[in-house]
Amino acid sequence: MLEETLVLFRNIRNSDYDKSLKGYKKTGGFTALRKALEMQPGEIVQLTKDSGLRGRGGAGFPTGLKWSFMAKGTGKPTYLVCNADESEPGTCKDRELMLHDPHQFLEGMIISCLAIGCRHGYIYVRGEYWPSIKSLNAAVQELYDDGILGEKLLGKGPKLDLTVHPGAGAYICGEETALLDSIEGKRGHPRVKPPFPAVSGFNACPTTVNNVETLACLPFIVNEGAEVFKSFGPENNAGTHLISLSGHVNKPGVYEVRLDANLKDIIYDLGGGIPNGKKLKGVIPGGASSSVLTAAEIDVTYSFDALAKAGTMMGSAAIMVFDEDTDAVKLLHRIVRFFSHESCGQCTPCREGTHWARMIIRDFLDGNGNERKLKRLHRVGGNMIGTTVCALGDACGMPIQAFTTKFADEFREVQALAA
């Protein structure tokens, strides 16, 4: 029987927890920051590398390695930007941290600032997350009032400021370079890389962009050590992960699991199985941009590497479950319609491909589909993968290819019924 492993949610799962700075300190909060202040920046980077922490925002890139790419000796300030623009359909895990335990995440962000020599960090929050923005602003003000932030970190360290920056509702600004453009006051457009943000990011200065959950892991790593963090998952998949479980399950919600948990156990143990005795039809395991798995494919370890081997990805760890009554064609249409609406229009394969795909699926729903159009839809999805400046083309193309392969018969059934 799978149960939660509480690391990031150890305070949130305590019904008596006080999320204020005073309450966080009672649980040992900011002891990790005091330890980090006694360490050299390179030591914090190495500790993070040793822990095996990988980014929790979608890409799964090693965090310590990402920090080590920061350009040095440029004479420019360095910046840390937290990507709290949680907009992937089905994803709501970072919201829980920002709303209910903001100081844990902020402590991790401050430790990260020490690691890369940052003196001003920005938290870019999804524009629709007003309760989270309010919670973070209040928490940041507490840190200033307590002397943790400001001219001297904890009264003895370097100067550090944090700014909460609301987004404006564009999904594309979850891409790190579009996010940086947005903070700079520009339209959020993904940039051509190189240069990467570590060389030329915010205001053309060296910048690291990390996810909320990624940063929230750091106090535990500093306090407990790299080996303890690594013990929560298989090799190259260290730690716990927050998952957003939704769809046709009896107990939807945000859960914290080890990275050696089984996807089937997550659905049936934590999620309580499928309601009303229905059969499982499929699972979207990592947000709308991940390739769908059929019911026969869910007996897989929920880790970065195991899911990649299964032909999909962990992505934002948003697990969306659908039962036997779900129309796979309508489901794909909803996914593609979202990406078509959110495309910035910069790249032709994405701008045109998402539109074409949406119209072809609409043809099937209207009774105007055929085998030739099914093949064309599959081809359009493939033409978007790897041909755009950012990953939005991939995010739409991969689900299209998976659905048209694994649920091709449903497209044919829709057409047969129309005929």
Q: Which of 403, 354, 345 is nearest to 383 (CA)?
A: 354
What CATH class is the domain 240-323?
A: alpha beta
Angstrom distance (rounded) from CA 99 to CA 269 = 26
Return the half-sphere exposure (C-beta side, CA atoms, 13 A cut-off) of residue 2. Answer: 21
CB count in 10 Å sphere of residue 191: 19
Pairing of strands 240-247, 207-211: unpaired
Residue 118 has φ and ψ, to the nearest 5°, of: -85, 140
- One-character DSSP codes across 227-272: HHHHTTSSTT--SEEEEEEEES-SS-EEEEEETT-BHHHIIIIIS-
pLDDT computed for residue 419 by the predictor: 52
Domain 328-418 fold is: de novo design (two linked rop proteins) (1.20.1440)
Each domain of the chain, given as residue ranges in start order, spans: 21-230, 240-323, 328-418
Return the half-sphere exposure (C-beta side, CA atoms, 13 A cut-off) of residue 246. Answer: 13
Domain 21-230, classified CATH 3.40.50.11540, yes or no: yes
pTM of this structure? 0.94
pLDDT computed for residue 418 by the predictor: 56
Question: From first to last of its 419 residues, what are the pLDDT tens digits of the chain?
Answer: 999 999 999 999 999 999 999 999 999 999 999 999 999 999 999 999 999 999 998 888 999 999 999 989 898 999 999 999 999 999 999 999 999 999 999 999 999 999 999 999 999 999 999 999 999 999 999 999 999 999 888 888 889 999 999 998 899 999 999 999 999 999 999 999 999 999 999 999 999 999 999 999 999 999 999 999 999 999 899 999 999 999 999 999 999 999 999 999 999 999 999 999 999 999 999 999 999 999 999 999 999 999 999 999 999 999 999 999 999 999 999 999 999 999 999 999 999 999 999 999 999 999 898 999 999 999 999 999 999 999 999 999 999 999 999 999 999 887 765 55
